[in-house]
Structure 1
């Protein structure tokens, strides 16, 4: 059974599921080729189908060998289901595990590093603290667990040691040998180039012995060093606050504030236009530097910009400027005949609409050669400017970094001009979403 046949069979099942939920239970559903979105009780649930046999039976001939090729959707769903099941069991054993994970995620997000270290990776790192607490006992409070998380990030030898998280004790001696062999293979390139180690953070589990699920491409070596440096500083401050029994809220807030002076430019976003503004701990403000530009639109203009931005991601424009579908997709929507009910639901809930990710995607489309989430700068028509986009759903700022190598004379002036051109494009794309753009460091006079 080929990949196409399996996916078509899944689509047929999804259509039947949507029709059944709608006819038997009166639920509002929207079925597509990939999933079914069910609206009920003010929530939206996305249903996907995992074909587990496809994980073992899908093999394709490559030369003289049979090479297993697992469909990416099945592989991702399988990894997530295994991970969720294990984490749920661990939470039952250690009730304080959840609060520690939430603190760790808050800290990573506050330092604009959520694109580098995913949520699942953070959950595994915290799980390791409970499974391997020696020479201590398992954490019994949120602060203790959070402090150990910071010290694990800053003190663990990520370059020469794999972190094995065996939640259910499923790994045998042969499995551990396999993990060790995979880790050694991944570090062979370290002797040749210390900057291009992949994965830089090797997290092995029973369902992922090659660290392919959550840390395959990120964090990179430079991002991991930044994580370790921030974690060391935060751990020292947290330990000091604990010892001195500090109750000053400002001192505690410093743990979740990142230094914005490290960036060449800061793009501040309107807080009330983030997906989850109530989750933002502290408004992102710049108290020093130069205001490059400020943007203010009326509500009407904002709505027009948001609607056009959403349509651009659903439809494309041809050379005549008219709207047309990006790809031909058969009409799989079930609930359109309940138009009045669906309209009422859509006004209360928008599924997967993330203006921040759309904005970052639009910036990448405008200058694809000058945006990089890795450590090395990229040469382009903008010179050697690097837009290092560090963002999270609930962070109201985007940091932009330039190259770190020293420049003199005309090269430095040209780079500053290129940075202003990039920032101008960013401001134009983000009308209605971008609040202001700051330069923490004043440009040198020409």
Structure 2
């Protein structure tokens, strides 16, 4: 597969095993909307809420559920140029940040000796990476996970469609997904800031 873009004509990329069809469609959709926005910004200037920052943000309504992380618990919080907030859907949980760990040493907490350093320094500790691994292990077939590997504060979830069972009601379907998202929040307790349900999938007959 060969990937190319309209604006960046000097770059090129060949792929062999990925992306799959679903990811490819999502990439094409992002590229199309970003190109349209960039064209409008160039021709009309920055007006209204949709400015150049939107080029680096994924629209939240593209996900079925969204997990927001505590920014000060990220490995590189200063890399987070555009923090996300969300007002869509139904908020399932909201939690405070944990005081049990900090991914980095703050300047006002400089160590005084090597023993002090060994007791405080966490080497190669990335809470986002470990949380994602836990999600994939705990919910292998429940949803797909979308995350900015460079250090975003948002995790997007899209449900995996399943066959509808007999006498299965839509209310029970929504309740089951709410319970799953509560478990997601509990799994990342202290690191997860809030969890939001945006869409409940329609089960296939």
Check if 1:341 corresponds to 2:114. Answer: yes
CA contact (8 A) 1:265 1:400 kept: yes
Q: Are the equivalent residues in 2 in contact too, given 1:267–1:397 (CA < 8 A)?
A: yes
Structure with the bigger percentage of helix? 1
> What is the alpha-carbon distance in structure 2 between the residues aligned to residue 436 and residue 259 of structure 1?
17
Deviation, structure 1 residue 391: 0.9
C-alpha spacing 1:291/1:248, structure 2 compared with 1 (3 Å): closer
**Residue from 11, 22, 39 that aligns with 1:239:** 39
Aligned CA distance change for structure 1 residues 240 and 273 (closer, same or farther; 3 Å): same
Counterpart CA distance in 1 for 2:95 and 2:169 is 30
User: 1 CA distance for matches of 2:33 and 2:97?
Assistant: 40
Structure with the greater alpha carbon radius of gyration: 1
Give the drift of 1:432.
0.4
Structure 1: distance between partners of 2:191 and 2:82: 18
In 2 relative to 1, CA 443–275 (structure 1 residues): closer, same or farther, beyond 3 Å? Answer: same
- Give distance in 2, aligned partners of 1:281 and 1:397: 13
Residues 1:285 and 1:246: Cα distance change in structure 2 (over 3 Å):
closer
Matches within 5 A, 1:268-347: 268-296=68-96, 299=99, 302-303=100-101, 340-341=113-114, 343-344=116-117, 347=120
Change (3 A) 1:423 1:441: same
Match of 2:177 in 1: 419
The answer to whether the Cα contact below 8 Å between 2:75 and 2:127 also exists between their aligned partners in 1 is yes
Alignment partner, residue 225 of structure 1: 25
For the residues of structure 1 that align with 2:82 and 2:174, how far apart are their CA atoms?
30
Q: Which runs of 5+ in 1 are unaligned?
A: 1-124, 130-146, 154-162, 164-201, 204-214, 308-339, 371-385
| Separation of aligned partners in 2, 1:350 and 1:242 | 45
1:405-446 per-position Cα deviation (integer Å, ceiling 9, x unaligned) = 7969625344323322321221111110011111124899xx
Cα separation, 1, equivalents of 2:40 and 2:97? 45
Task: State the distance in 2 between where 1:441 and 1:366 align.
Answer: 21
3-state SS of the aligned residue for 2:152? coil
State the SS of the aligned residue for 2:66. Answer: strand
Aligned to 1:360: 132
Change (3 A) 1:423 1:249: closer
Task: Render the CA deviation track for 1:194-221: whole Å, top value 9, x for unaligned.
Answer: xxxxxxxx71xxxxxxxxxxx4443222
TM-score (structure 2 length as normaliser): 0.74
Structure 2 equivalent of residue 387 of structure 1: 143
Q: Kindly report which structure 2 residues correspond to 1:137-152, keeping only aligned pairs within 5 A, or say none.
A: 148-149=7-8
Residues 442, 289 of structure 1: CA spacing in aligned structure 2 closer, same or farther, 3 A cutoff?
A: farther
Aligned partners of 2:24 and 2:119: how far apart in 1?
A: 40
Question: Residue 431 and residue 441 in structure 1: after superposition, are their counterparts in 2 closer, same or farther (change >3 A)?
Answer: same
Larger relative contact order (CA 8 Å, sep ≥ 6)? 2
Secondary structure at the counterpart of residue 67 of structure 2? strand
TM-score, normalisation: structure 1: 0.37
